[in-house]
Amino acid sequence: MAEHKNISAKILVVDDEPNVLRMVSYALQAEGFEVVVAQNGNEALIKVLTEAPDLVVLDVMLPDMSGAEVCEQLRKKQETIDLPVIMLSALAQVSDKIRCLEAGADEYVTKPIAPEELLARIKALLARFRQVRRSLPKQPGKVLGFIGAKGGVGTTTVALNVASALVEQEKSVVAAEIRSSYGTFSAQLNLVQPQGLVRLLEHDPGKIDAREVRLRLADLPSGLRLLVGPQCVAEYRGMESKQVEAIIQIIGSMVDYAILDLPCYSSDANQAAIRCCDMVALVVEPESTALASGIVAVEQMKSWGVYGKRLGIIVVNRAPLAIPINLDQLKTMLEHEIIGVIPTAAEALITSQREGLPVILYQPNCDVSKAYIDITKRISASAGWIR
Ligand SMILES: Nc1ncnc2c1ncn2[C@@H]1O[C@H](COP(=O)(O)OP(=O)(O)OP(=O)(O)O)[C@@H](O)[C@H]1O
Ligand SMILES: [Mg+2]
């Protein structure tokens, strides 16, 4: 028989009954497990992300939603798709069990349960899960970099809207500002954010792990999570390539899509970030200075090994143009596919920014939103993006 005695793990116990929480936590802690608790479904959904438990003991009847609904939500997200879940219920009806098992629970036990039995089930499930996980390499998420041909061309606006559109497609997404100086996610979304990237950069690359990264992410109500860059000069930090690689690799392993907002200057750290990308979208404006910078940027990407299907061009018309742009000419100049053209939308962007929302969430039916959504569809449908 397998030996499960000293398996160490963090367990999230979800129950609205303080007595059950106390009893189960005590039994688990006595066996050396680390325990975190939640008293309703929403708190549980937050804690699975911020605490990264190894297993969840989930009550079926919670005040805000059913345990089965919590379980369904967990199964929809890349980072919790296979998180072991034991449902704990006072209901012994076969139909209740079936509902929970269909929602993705691994086990269903009825209360009252002897603590020894619950412990034995937890240990067996953890051991089985770890064995399966070892034999199945996890498919990492896609890493998409957005980089401007020069500053101020609309790159961050594209990155945040594409990231939000992917969330609308029920993908798990982290958008990260990987830059050593000022990042505008907070300004665009009206957020007062704790330090994100800056705190991660305090660590040696080997010390940056999934738990540390999760702690530094900001959760938006839409479901999008952000790693916010420096917010003032005092937070400007040099970044080592190895730190950047560690952060991107961890984010990529947590989600379906990592969206990187990258600076347009050349540096070792930026090169490292770009090398981590499955695809890079270069954002240009159809005006001569931005296009000249675009040509140089394409040259730079090529020298870093990013070209062909790994590189796409997004054209942003920040100002209305008297002369329409010729996309074929642009494609020839920049030698790469145009994956989208964003129309002028100063007003829609200003009003959505005032509300702290990406425009695709605030005015999903306006032309600029449709353009961001189209780009997102092309991005998610593209099979050609390989490392
Ligand atoms: N399609 C558009 N039409 C009109 N204005 C736009 C459009 N896209 C972006 N803008 C505006 O352009 C300004 C710069 O946008 P954004 O911050 O996204 O650019 P950036 O390239 O990320 O800049 P930075 O180099 O500072 O990071 C913002 O005020 C934004 O609202
Ligand atoms: Mg920007």
- For residue range 116-141, list pLDDT tens digits in order: 999 999 999 998 887 766 555 556 78
Do 148 and 115 fall into the same domain? no
Span from the CA of 152 to the centroid of ligand 2 (angstroms): 7
Do 100 and 85 fall into the same domain? yes
Do 185 and 251 fall into the same domain? yes
Give the pLDDT confidence score for residue 5 in this predicted structure.
Answer: 47
Last residue of a domain, one of 80, 106, 135: 135
Tokens found for residue 159: 């990155």
Last residue of a domain, one of 102, 117, 135: 135
Domain count, the chain: 2
Q: Which of 146, 147, 150, 156 to mutate to test the pocket of ligand 1 (most atoms within 8 A of CB)?
A: 156
Give the pLDDT confidence score for residue 136 in this predicted structure.
Answer: 55
Range ranked top by mean pLDDT from 20-24, 94-98, 244-248:
244-248
Does 1 map to a domain? no
Helix axes 241-254, 268-275, angle to 10 degrees: 30
User: Dihedrals φ, ψ of 28, to 5°?
Assistant: -70, -45
Does 387 map to a domain? no
> Is residue 300 classed as helix, strand or coil in its secondary structure?
helix
Residue whose CA lies nearest to ligand 1 atom number 2: 318
> Is residue 38 classed as helix, strand or coil in its secondary structure?
strand
pLDDT in tens, 194-222: 789 999 999 999 999 888 898 899 989 99
Do 97 and 236 fall into the same domain? no
Tell me: pLDDT of 2 over 50.
no
The CATH number of whichever domain residue 123 belongs to comes to 3.40.50.2300
Do 20 and 109 fall into the same domain? yes
Do 372 and 236 fall into the same domain? yes
The number of the ligand 1 atom at minimal distance from the alpha carbon of 368 is: 1
> At 226, is the pLDDT very low, low, confident or very high (cuts 50, 70, 90)?
very high
Tokens found for residue 332: 């020839």
Tell which residue, 95, 140, 137, 155, has the closest CA to residue 293.
155
Give the pLDDT confidence score for residue 134 in this predicted structure.
Answer: 57
> Which amino acid is located at 359 in the chain?
V
Tell me: pLDDT of 3 over 50.
no
Give the pLDDT confidence score for residue 353 in this predicted structure.
Answer: 93
Q: Which of 349, 351, 353, 369 to mutate to test the pocket of ligand 1 (most atoms within 8 A of CB)?
A: 349
Does 4 map to a domain? no
Does 98 map to a domain? yes
pLDDT in tens, 239-262: 999 999 999 999 998 888 999 999
Sign of the four-CA dihedral 235, 269, 203, 51:
positive
Do 266 and 373 fall into the same domain? yes
Do 224 and 306 fall into the same domain? yes
> Which amino acid is located at 115 in the chain?
P
Q: Which of 157, 293, 357 to mutate to test the pocket of ligand 1 (most atoms within 8 A of CB)?
A: 157
Give the pLDDT confidence score for residue 73 in this predicted structure.
Answer: 92
Whole-angstrom distance, CA of residue 217 vs CA of residue 40: 22
Give the pLDDT confidence score for residue 40 in this predicted structure.
Answer: 96
Residue 262 sits in which domain range? Answer: 142-381
Q: Which ligand is nearest to the CA of 344?
A: 1
pLDDT in tens, 33-77: 999 999 999 999 999 988 889 999 999 999 999 999 999 999 888
pLDDT in tens, 343-387: 999 999 999 999 999 999 999 999 999 999 999 999 887 755 544
Give the pLDDT confidence score for residue 314 in this predicted structure.
Answer: 96
List all residues whose CB is within 6 A of at least one atom of ligand 1: 148, 151-157, 184, 316-318, 342, 344-346, 349, 368
Last residue of a domain, one of 135, 153, 182: 135
Give the pLDDT confidence score for residue 195 in this predicted structure.
Answer: 83
Give the largest Cα separation in the chain, rounded: 77
Tell me: pLDDT of 171 over 50.
yes
| Burial category of 326 from C-beta neighbours within 10 Å (exposed 0-12, middle 13-18, buried 19 and up) | exposed
The number of the ligand 1 atom at minimal distance from the alpha carbon of 345 is: 3
Give the pLDDT confidence score for residue 96 in this predicted structure.
Answer: 85
The number of the ligand 1 atom at minimal distance from the alpha carbon of 148 is: 21
Does 3 map to a domain? no
Does 157 map to a domain? yes
What's the mean pLDDT in 289-313? 92
Whole-angstrom distance, CA of residue 244 vs CA of residue 363: 34
| Burial category of 91 from C-beta neighbours within 10 Å (exposed 0-12, middle 13-18, buried 19 and up) | middle
Do 296 and 148 fall into the same domain? yes
How many beta carbons lie within 10 A of that of residue 347, not counting itself? Answer: 10
Mean confidence (pLDDT) of the chain: 90
The number of the ligand 1 atom at minimal distance from the alpha carbon of 153 is: 21
Residue whose CA lies nearest to ligand 1 atom number 24: 152
Do 91 and 152 fall into the same domain? no
